[in-house]
A and B are shown apart, each in its own frame.
Chain A
Amino acid sequence: MEIDPFIFRLSIFILSIFIGYYVVWSVTPSLHTPLMSVTNAISSVIIVGAIIAALAGTSESIFNTSSIFGFIAIILAAINIFGGFLVTQRMLQMYKKKKDKKK
Chain B
Amino acid sequence: MIVASFSNVSKHFGKVVALKNLNLKVKKGQALALLGPNGAGKTTALSMLQGLRQPTSGQVEIFGQTPGTPSAMRRIGVTPQATDFPPQLTPRELLQFTTAHFPVPASIDRLITMFGLEKLAARPVKDFSGGERRRVALALCFAGNPELVILDEPTTGLDAQGQKDFSQMANRFVADGGALILTSHYWLEIENVANRIVMIDNGKTVMDGTIADIKSTFGLNHISFTSPDPGPHIRNNFTQENGIWSANSSQSDDTVRALVKSGETFSDLKITPRNLEESIAIYRQNQTPDIAQKEISSSGATQ
Asked if chains A and B come from one complex, the reply is no
Instruction: Point out residues on A near B: beta carbons under 8 Å.
Output: none
Instruction: Point out residues on B near A: beta carbons under 8 Å.
Output: none
